[in-house]
């Protein structure tokens, strides 16, 4: 059995542990009650994890039923955007040979516009 | 803790570890479906059973784990490691229904040669729900902490265990809540190293202990590439001390049993290399440079000390804890084991 002295140490360290968990988990992480209310939501509250541009890339590709896509040179050179678009859009796959290319809005080229969003546009390039 | 409760917790720990490995085996054998779901349901039921049976014992761990789980369920997934590597691998396993398509080397930035044990468990969590999302599946990383922490609770008394848990939370800090696998790796590493210590230097020879050590070693090597290096170092440290003790012959039979733990990771690495997928961060010239180059440069020692003592306050506290416990309960073998291990690790860094 735990004696009184040990009990005090026991309670002290339990409290220390709980404070630490709250400090690291809530204060130093992006903890949000909105996410906790429904952690099984299909889009997984993705707006807290990714920039609008990445989410829009997925909306555009899905709405046009594109399975393989390419990215403009500017998007490929921006390593963060490049990696996030690739991982977030999977199982839609990035493929350099694809005619369907995502561009930053306003990038100039001779490709045919398929769909425009607020930040990106999908074009068909020959 | 009474012996029957100790036995119960060790059994729970063994079964949970088995189910984690079993999940990986099932997906490796292309059974990404009903069998994986059943395996996972047993995993959850056993976790609930662990909570209900002997409710009042191991209460700190139960409270901490519940809190950690709640926080995991309320945080989004950010960070490079989490998105580009671990969660992306899990997503690929979920959509491809296999771990083997990783060798198509799609998205090379995601290190396709990485072992996929935790990612497989994450994918299975999504499979159980029925669709891909990010919040619930990532809690697989929180569940990974259970087997080693339950196991260690059977070796420490209440007071030591609660202090140990507090220290674990302090040293892991943010890593507990990140999908970087570093926290999980640390938990499995200390447990595996501890098991090696009690088996080879305290000569405990219990069947359950041997089995759980083997399971922890397998898991350690399959968490990430660094896990394999840590496992090699545990073996190396043990063997070095046994050579100095001139006790290698008696140890060799025992240690050869644990060599089995290398089989899954070696099989995975052979599969990756034979398909042209290799580690982009590793080369033999770099190893040579790190090993020999750094050993003869005095600046490297200075750099190391600067980093270890001045830039990382937690390691300073860890050293203080280590030397205090060493002073209170000096154990020559444990001391040598730690020193050899740390020295090897520093050079590899």
| Tens digits of residue pLDDT in B319-335 | 777 777 777 766 666 66
Mutate one of A19, A23, A37, A49 to test the B interface: name it (highest B CB count within 10 A): A49
Nearest to A9 among B129, B159, B170 (CB): B159
Claim to verify: residue B11 and residue B112 sit in the same structural domain = yes
Tell me the average pLDDT across B83-111. Answer: 92
Domain count, chain B: 2
**Alpha-carbon span A26 to B162, nearest angstrom:** 22
Look at B170 and A20 and tell me if their CB atoms are within 8 Å: yes
- Domain count across chain A: 2
Q: pLDDT digits over A42-55, tens only?
A: 776 888 889 999 99
Confidence (pTM):
0.88
Is A85 within a domain?
yes
Q: Do A30 and B106 touch (CB under 8 A)?
A: no
What residues contact residue B348 under an 8 Å CB cut-off, 6+ apart? B229, B233, B290, B291
Q: What percent of chain B has pLDDT over 70?
A: 89
**Cβ contact B92–A36 (<8 Å):** no
Asked if the Cβ–Cβ distance from A21 to B64 is below 8 Å, we say: yes
Of the residues B221, B250, B276, the one at which a domain ends: B276
pLDDT for res A2? 55
Same-domain check for residues A64 and A19 = no
Residue A115 sits at φ, ψ, to 5 deg, of -150, 140
Nearest C-alpha of chain A: how many angstroms from B55? Answer: 15
Q: DSSP state, B262?
A: G
Same domain membership, residue B159 and residue B126: yes
- Is there a contact between B169 and A24 if contact means CB atoms under 8 Å apart? yes
* Res B341 pLDDT > 80: no
Q: Are residues B294 and B271 in the same domain?
A: no
Q: What are phi and psi of B149, to 5 degrees?
A: -70, -35
The pLDDT score that the predictor gives to residue B58 is: 85
User: Are residues B103 and B243 located together in one domain of the fold?
Assistant: yes
Examine the domain organization and report whether A80 and A118 are in the same domain. yes
Question: Do B51 and B108 reside in the same domain of the chain?
Answer: yes
pLDDT digits (tens, 9 = 90+) for B259-303: 999 999 999 999 999 998 887 666 666 666 666 777 777 777 777
- Work out the average pLDDT over A1-21: 78
CA B54, CA B2: separation in Å to the nearest integer? 11
Residue B39 shares a structural domain with residue B136: yes
Last residue of a domain, one of B219, B245, B276: B276
Chain B interface test: which of A1, A83, A84, A88 (most B C-beta within 10 Å): A83
Confidence of residue A8 (pLDDT cuts 50, 70, 90): confident
The larger pLDDT score, comparing residue A29 to residue A81, is at: A81
Chain A residue closest to B65 (CA)?
Answer: A21
Q: Which residue has the higher pLDDT, B159 or B261?
A: B261
Residues of A in contact with B77 (CB under 8 A): 44, 49
Which positions in chain B touch A81 (Cβ < 8 Å)? none
DSSP secondary structure code for residue A31 in this structure: B
Is position A66 within any domain? yes
Return the residue of A nearest to B77 by Cα. Answer: A49
Q: Are B259 and B315 in the same domain?
A: no
> What sign does the dihedral B116-B122-B127-B131 (CA atoms) show?
negative
Q: Give the least confident one: B33-47, B160-174, B242-256, B296-310.
A: B296-310
Phi then psi dihedrals of residue A114, to 5 deg: -100, -50
Residue A40 domain-assigned?
A: no
Q: Which of residues 2-41 of A touch B (CB under 8 A)?
A: 2, 6, 9-10, 13-14, 16-18, 20-22, 24-26, 28-33, 35-36, 39-41
Are residues A80 and A23 both part of a single domain?
Answer: no
pLDDT for the residue A63:
94
Do B258 and B289 fall within a single domain?
no
State the pLDDT confidence band at B221, using cuts at 50, 70 and 90.
Answer: very high
| B13 plus B114 within the same structural domain | yes
Residue with tokens 């691998």: B89
pLDDT at B282: 63
Q: What digits encode the pLDDT tens for the residues B102-157?
A: 889 898 888 999 999 999 999 999 999 999 998 999 999 999 999 999 999 998 88
A49 touches chain B (CB under 8 A): yes
Out of A35, A43, A93, the one facing B75 most closely (by C-beta) is: A35
Same domain, B85 and B63: yes
What's the confidence (pLDDT) of residue A28? 77
Interface check for A46 against chain B (CB to CB < 8 A): the answer is: yes
Strands (E), chain A: 68-71, 93-94, 100-104, 112-116, 120-124
Q: What is the mean pLDDT of residues B157-177?
A: 84
Residue B339 pLDDT class (50, 70, 90 cuts): low
What is the domain range of residue A9? 2-31
The SS3 call for residue A114 is strand
What digits encode the pLDDT tens for the residues A69-103? 999 999 999 999 999 999 999 999 999 999 999 99
Q: How far is CA A53 from CA A60, A84, B118, B291, in A?
A: 10, 10, 30, 44
Statement: residue B74 has pLDDT above 70: yes
Domain that holds residue B349: 283-349
Determine which of A51-55, B75-79, B89-93 has the lowest per-residue pLDDT on average. B75-79
* Whether residues A75 and A103 fall in one domain: yes
Q: Are residues B170 and B203 in the same domain?
A: yes
| Closest in A21, A30, A46 to B75, CB measured | A30
In this prediction, residue B349 has a pLDDT band, given cuts at 50, 70 and 90, of: very low
Q: What is the pLDDT of residue B322?
A: 73
The answer on A56 and A27 residing in a single domain is: no
């Amino acid at each position: 059995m735990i004696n009184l002295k040990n009990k005090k140490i026991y309670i002290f360290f339990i409290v220390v542990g709980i404070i630490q968990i709250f400090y690291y988990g809530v204060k130093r992480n992006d903890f949000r009650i909105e996410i906790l209310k429904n952690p099984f939501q299909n889009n997984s509250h993705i707006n807290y994890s990714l920039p609008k541009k990445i989410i829009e890339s997925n909306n555009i590709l899905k709405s046009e039923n594109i399975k393989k896509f390419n990215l403009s040179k500017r998007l490929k050179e921006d390593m963060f955007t490049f990696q996030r678009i690739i991982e977030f859009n999977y199982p839609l796959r990035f493929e350099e040979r694809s005619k369907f290319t995502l561009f930053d809005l306003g990038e100039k080229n001779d490709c045919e516009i398929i769909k425009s969003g607020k930040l990106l546009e999908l074009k068909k390039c020959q | 803790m009474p012996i029957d409760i100790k036995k119960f917790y060790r059994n729970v720990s063994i079964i949970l570890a088995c189910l984690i490995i079993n999940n990986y085996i099932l997906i490796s054998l292309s059974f990404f479906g009903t069998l994986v779901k059943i395996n996972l349901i047993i995993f959850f039921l056993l976790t609930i059973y662990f909570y209900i049976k002997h409710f009042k014992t191991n209460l700190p761990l139960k409270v901490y784990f519940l809190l950690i789980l709640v926080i995991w369920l309320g945080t989004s997934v950010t960070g490079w490691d989490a998105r580009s590597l671990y969660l992306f691998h899990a997503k690929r396993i979920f959509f491809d229904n296999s771990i083997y398509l990783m060798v198509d080397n799609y998205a090379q930035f995601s290190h396709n040669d990485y072992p996929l044990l935790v990612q497989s468990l994450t994918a299975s969590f999504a499979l159980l729900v029925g669709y891909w999302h990010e919040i619930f599946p990532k809690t697989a990383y929180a569940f990974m902490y259970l087997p080693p922490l339950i196991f260690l609770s059977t070796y420490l008394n209440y007071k030591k265990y609660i202090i140990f848990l507090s220290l674990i939370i302090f040293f892991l800090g943010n890593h507990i809540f990140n999908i970087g696998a570093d926290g999980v790796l640390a938990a499995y590493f200390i447990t595996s190293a501890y098991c090696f210590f009690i088996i080879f230097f305290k000569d405990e020879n219990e069947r359950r202990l041997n089995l759980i050590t083997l399971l922890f070693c397998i898991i350690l090597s399959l968490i990430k590439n660094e896990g394999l290096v840590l496992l090699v170092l545990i073996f190396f440290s043990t063997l070095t001390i046994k050579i100095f003790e001139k006790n290698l012959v008696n140890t060799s039979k025992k240690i050869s049993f644990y060599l089995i733990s290398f089989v899954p990771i070696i099989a995975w690495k052979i599969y990756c290399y034979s398909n042209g997928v290799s580690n982009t961060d590793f080369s033999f010239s770099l190893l040579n440079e790190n090993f020999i180059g750094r050993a003869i440069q005095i600046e490297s020692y200075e750099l190391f000390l600067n980093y270890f003592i001045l830039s990382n306050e937690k390691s300073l506290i860890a050293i203080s804890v280590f030397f205090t416990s060493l002073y209170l309960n000096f154990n020559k073998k444990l001391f040598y084991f730690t020193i050899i291990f740390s020295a090897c690790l520093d050079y590899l860094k």
